[in-house]
Structure formats: structure tokens, C-alpha cells
């Protein structure tokens, strides 16, 4: 970022009042060392944001091999920022895929150790034409939800802007000498493509990654003024269907009506995947889904939610989902099946009269405790294979998957996150189950035997994976302020 651009950022932040010193009433737990972080944060905010801009300029799209050198460069920039923050033993650890960037600050061999996880890869940016400013040229803009400005760029919220808060929080704590525990960092480059090689890395580096709790900022909060902490993630089973009809594309006049049309057939097959109550029709799909106690469902219903605002934000005439469940339940505690892509035949300019030889679909299923992604993939495969429409053959290929995850609010890490968020946001955070997936989290629990705390700071409206992804400047700075409190409270919980 040029000196001129840095000045632009600084002016923007000043104009929006972002540089007003934060005043907060001290409570008994505010230690002198903690408060020393404030001046450092105030002084360095514009640098932090300009550094984040630099990180966002690298198109680290893990799914597309065209960008692999950018992904590698991003790993190097992450390592550079770790070293600059004062983190030791920084390594770019090779894997069969993109590298994991690792570093640590070991304060005390017997003290608690927190492992921070994040990902430096991002989703593809398409459709490019829907971006108001280019995805890899970060800009600051004011929105109704972010009156103090938001950073627009692919990866701003998911997850560069969020893991970067952790590097800046450590930098601030190292500068003021107030870090109360050991911290390890593991920032990977393949989360958006299923973290297959991170599993490889974790299995081989259990000692290096040994910790008491994992801290992750890769989720969201309910809304401005409604802080929340994620207590669960859904699992995932991702499948692809290839449906074949005739051995070549055919003239739709000469053959139409006499042979199965793969696109008609795949549409019929997909239409059968839900019944009239919005439930998935695959036999056995719900067998392991536990009915949650009504007390839990009542608590979930306490989270503020306006159906009208929800519909408005998405320009929807109405909502649709499984009968008997609220929108919040449908997107958190219930399993789902969605077509993510459907293609075949002619989609070019004008019209071509053709019956395609093949049709394809990509389908994801979000899973809840205690569904097993491998079992669900097999059930899906068996169902599709036995329902191939007359005159067609089907092939089902599983892609990545992951187990669901839940964290009990009684966990000391959760309690520490609760106190830290309350400290900075001024309100007790609400525990929420998220509909998204971070498949590696369940694997951490299995391989390392530790729980992950999902202390994320984005909003659903931040448009992750969509055009115009953004991350609020306030969310970024409040996140940096919250993280040190997590370490403080976690260390307290740990020694109690």
C-alpha cells in the first residue's frame, strides 16, 4: 500500500470517527497490563488495516490451480506477519497440498496453551461482474450495517480479516508484555476445498499442535448489538451426479420423445429428493438425527430474528423449508440437501435444438449430530443408483465431507470467550448453532482431543462466498480487542 493509500485509509477512519479513543468503565478485573494495549491499538489501527489490504490483494483461491502461486505467496506473507508480530519458530510447513503456516509463543511450559486456527485461502470470486469493486482490490465503504466502514474484498471476512485479528492481537500483547498463556498458530491454505491435507498434517504433528483449547475466528455474530458465540457447526457430505442417456448429443426433433433426455431425467431425480413436507426423501437420512429437547428449541427461539427483515435482505417473496421448524432451526439444527450446480446441454448464445448425452449435478448435504458423512454419502449413492430414471445410467462421486461439531457452553474455553465478548461488546453473548461447516474442527477433537471455541466476528450479511464480501472495520478492531481478554479469562479458568 502506497503512502498515499495509507493516508486515504487514515482519513477515512478519522472521518468516520473511528479513531475516537474508546472509553470504557473499568471493572475490577481490568488489569493494568490489559489496559496498556489500548494506546497501541489506537496508534496502529491504520497500519493494521493497510497490512490487511495487502493480504487481501493476493488472490489465494485454493480451488483453482491458476492461482496456486498466489496461494503460496499468501503463505509467505502470513509467515512474514507472524514473525513481525513477535511470534517465534515461524515455519511454512509443506503438505501434499498448500502449506500450513505455523508459529508459537511459549511463555510457560506448564501454563495453558491455546492453538489459534484460521485459513488464508479464499473462495473463487465469480461471478465477477456482480462485484461493485474488484474482489482483489480492497476498498473501504460505508454500509447501513457498518456505519464506520467495511473492507470490501474476497476473503475480507472469510477468513483473512478474521485470522489477521489474531496476529494483531498477539502483536499488541507482545508489545505490552501482557500475554498470560502460550499461543500456537496454525493458518492453513485449503479450508475452502475441504482441508484434506490439514488432516494429513495434524495426524503427523500431534505433539507440535498439543494444546488445551483451539480458538477460531471463522464464524459470525448474529447482528450489530447482538453479540453471539457459535456453539456448533453442521457437517457436510458433498456429492456429484453424472447422468448419461444416449451415447452422443442428439437432434431434439429427430430423437425427442423417444429417448430419455438426461436433463429432464436429472431434474426429475432431483425433484424426488424432497417430499412435500420439505424433508429429504433418502431412506435412513434422519435415522441418527437426535430430536432436541423442547427446552433447547425454546432457547434457540430467544435469539432475535425478524422474518420480514430476513426476506427483505434476500428480496424473497416467501421462505421455504422443512415443515415444523423455524428458519433459525432449519439453518442450524436440521440437516438439509441442496443442489449447488446443475449443468448439461446447450447454454450458449441463442438456441440449439439438442438432447444432451449427459447431465450433471453437484449436491451438498449439511449434517447435524450424530449423522456420519460417510454413511450419508453411501445412503445418497444407493438412493440415486436405485432411482436412475428409465433409459439412463447414473454415476455418483463423493467429494469432501466433514463431521458436525458441538461445544458445550460449560467448557472453560467457551466461558472465557463469553466473558471476553461481554467485556468488549457490553452485552452477554448468545450461544448459537451455525449452519456452516468447518470440517477440520471435528477432526481436531478426534485427533488432538481438544474442543474448538468458535469466536467469530462477521455477520451473515457480510456476504462471505458471495460477490461484494466485506468485513466491518469495527468488527475487525473489536475482534482485536476481544482476543486478549480471551487469553486472560482462559488462563484464569485454567488455573481455577
Which residue's CB comes closest to ligand BES?
Answer: 436
Nearer residue to Mn ion within complex by CB, 159 or 188: 159
CB under 5 to 8 A by kind: which of ligand BES, Mn ion, none does 269 bind? none
Binding residue count for Mn ion, defined by CB under 5 A: 3
CB under 5 to 8 A by kind: which of Mn ion, ligand BES, none does 434 bind? ligand BES
For the chain, the maximum distance between any two Cα atoms, rounded to a whole number of angstroms, is 83
Among 46, 121, 158, 171, binds Mn ion (CB under 5 A): 158
Q: Which helix (H) or strand (E) holds 54?
A: helix 37-56
How far apart are the C-alpha atoms of 159 and 288, rounded to whole Å?
A: 32
Nearer residue to Mn ion within complex by CB, 389 or 436: 436
Is the distance from CB of 213 to CB of 490 less than 8 angstroms? Answer: yes
Strand partners, 366: 236, 336
**Which residue stretch of 33-41, 155-163, 182-190, 395-403 sits at the interface with Mn ion (rule: CB under 5 A)?**
155-163
How far apart are the C-alpha atoms of 215 and 166, rounded to whole Å?
A: 10
**Which residue stretch of 10-18, 158-166, 198-206, 269-277 sits at the interface with Mn ion (rule: CB under 5 A)?**
158-166
How far apart are the C-alpha atoms of 206 and 99, rounded to whole Å?
A: 17
CB of 190 to Mn ion, least distance (A): 11
Q: Which residues bind ligand BES (CB under 6 A)?
A: 158-159, 191-192, 194, 218-220, 233, 236, 400, 434, 436-439, 464
CB under 5 to 8 A by kind: which of ligand BES, Mn ion, none does 153 bind? none
Nearer residue to ligand BES within complex by CB, 358 or 366: 366
- Going residue by residue from 110 to 149, which x/- string records binding to Mn ion, judged by CB under 5 A? ----------------------------------------
Q: Which helix (H) or strand (E) holds 396?
A: strand 393-402
Is the distance from CB of 182 to CB of 113 less than 8 angstroms? Answer: yes
Q: What are phi and psi of 56, to 5 degrees?
A: -75, -20
Residue in the block written with cell 478492531:
477
CB under 5 to 8 A by kind: which of Mn ion, ligand BES, none does 431 bind? none
Helix 3-15 and helix 37-56, axial crossing angle in degrees, nearest 10 = 120
Q: Is 159 in the site for Mn ion (CB under 5 A)?
A: yes
Q: For residue 104, which of 118, 114, 119 has the smallest C-alpha distance?
A: 114
CB under 5 to 8 A by kind: which of ligand BES, Mn ion, none does 421 bind? none
Q: Is 188 in the site for Mn ion (CB under 5 A)?
A: no
Helix 68-84 and helix 160-176, axial crossing angle in degrees, nearest 10 = 20
Q: Is 218 in the site for Mn ion (CB under 5 A)?
A: yes
CB of 122 to ligand BES, least distance (A): 9
Q: Is 51 in the site for Mn ion (CB under 5 A)?
A: no
Q: Is 462 in the site for Mn ion (CB under 5 A)?
A: no
DSSP string spanning 225-281? Answer: TB-EEEEEE-EEEEEEEEEE-SSS-EETTTTTTTS--HHHHHHHHHHTTB-TTS-B-
Residues that bind Mn ion (CB under 5 A): 158-159, 218
Amino acid at each position: 500500500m502506497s503512502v498515499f493509500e495509507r493516508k486515504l485509509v487514515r482519513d477515512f477512519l478519522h472521518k468516520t470517527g473511528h479513531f475516537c479513543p474508546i472509553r470504557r468503565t473499568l471493572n475490577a478485573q481490568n488489569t493494568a497490563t490489559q489496559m496498556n494495549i489500548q494506546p497501541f491499538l489506537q496508534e496502529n489501527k491504520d497500519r493494521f488495516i493497510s497490512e490487511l489490504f495487502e493480504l487481501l490483494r493476493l488472490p489465494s483461491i485454493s480451488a483453482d490451480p491458476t492461482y496456486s502461486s498466489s496461494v503460496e505467496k499468501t503463505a509467505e506473507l502470513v509467515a512474514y506477519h507472524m514473525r513481525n508480530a513477535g511470534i517465534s519458530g515461524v515455519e511454512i510447513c509443506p503438505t501434499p497440498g498448500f502449506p500450513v503456516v505455523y508459529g508459537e509463543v511459549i511463555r510457560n511450559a506448564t501454563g495453558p496453551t491455546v492453538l489459534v486456527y484460521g485459513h488464508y485461502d479464499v473462495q473463487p470470486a465469480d461471478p465477477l461482474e456482480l462485484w461493485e469493486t474488484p474482489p482483489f482490490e480492497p476498498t473501504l465503504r460505508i454500509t447501513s450495517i457498518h456505519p464506520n466502514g467495511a473492507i470490501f474484498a474476497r476473503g475480507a471476512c472469510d477468513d483473512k480479516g478474521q485470522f489477521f485479528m489474531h496476529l494483531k492481537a498477539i502483536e499488541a500483547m507482545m508489545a505490552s508484555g501482557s500475554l498470560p498463556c502460550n499461543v500456537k498458530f496454525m493458518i492453513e491454505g485449503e479450508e475452502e476445498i475441504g482441508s484434506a491435507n490439514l488432516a494429513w498434517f495434524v495426524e503427523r504433528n500431534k505433539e507440535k499442535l498439543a494444546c488445551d483449547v483451539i480458538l477460531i475466528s471463522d464464524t459470525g455474530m448474529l447482528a450489530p448489538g447482538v453479540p453471539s458465540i457459535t456453539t456448533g457447526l453442521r457437517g457436510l457430505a458433498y456429492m456429484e451426479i453424472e447422468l448419461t442417456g444416449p451415447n452422443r448429443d442428439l437432434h431434439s426433433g429427430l430423437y425427442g420423445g423417444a429417448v430419455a433426455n438426461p436433463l429432464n431425467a436429472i431434474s426429475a431425480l432431483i425433484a424426488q429428493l424432497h417430499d412435500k413436507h420439505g424433508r429429504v426423501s433418502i431412506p435412513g437420512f434422519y435415522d441418527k438425527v437426535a430430536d432436541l429437547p423442547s427446552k433447547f428449541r425454546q432457547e434457540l427461539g430467544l435469539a432475535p430474528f425478524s422474518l420480514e427483515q430476513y426476506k427483505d435482505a434476500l428480496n424473497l417473496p416467501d421462505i421455504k423449508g422443512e415443515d415444523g421448524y423455524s428458519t433459525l432451526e432449519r439453518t442450524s439444527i436440521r440437516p438439509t440437501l441442496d443442489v449447488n450446480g446443475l449443468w448439461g446441454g446447450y447454454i450458449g448464445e441463442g438456441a440449439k435444438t439438442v438432447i444432451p448425452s449427459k447431465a450433471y449435478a453437484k449436491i451438498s448435504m449439511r449434517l447435524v449430530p450424530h449423522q456420519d458423512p460417510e454413511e450419508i454419502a453411501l445412503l445418497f449413492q444407493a438412493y440415486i443408483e436405485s432411482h436412475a430414471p428409465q433409459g439412463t445410467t447414473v454415476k455418483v462421486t463423493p467429494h469432501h465431507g466433514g463431521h458436525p461439531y458441538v461445544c458445550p457452553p460449560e467448557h472453560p474455553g467457551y466461558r472465557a470467550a463469553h466473558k471476553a465478548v461481554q467485556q468488549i461488546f457490553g452485552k452477554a453473548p448468545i450461544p448459537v448453532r451455525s449452519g456452516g461447516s468447518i470440517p477440520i474442527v471435528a477432526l481436531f477433537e478426534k485427533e488432538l482431543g481438544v474442543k474448538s471455541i468458535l469466536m467469530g466476528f462477521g455477520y451473515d450479511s457480510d456476504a462471505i462466498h458471495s460477490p461484494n464480501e466485506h468485513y466491518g472495520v469495527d468488527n475487525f478492531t473489536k475482534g482485536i480487542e476481544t482476543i486478549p481478554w480471551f487469553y486472560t479469562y482462559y488462563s484464569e479458568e485454567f488455573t481455577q
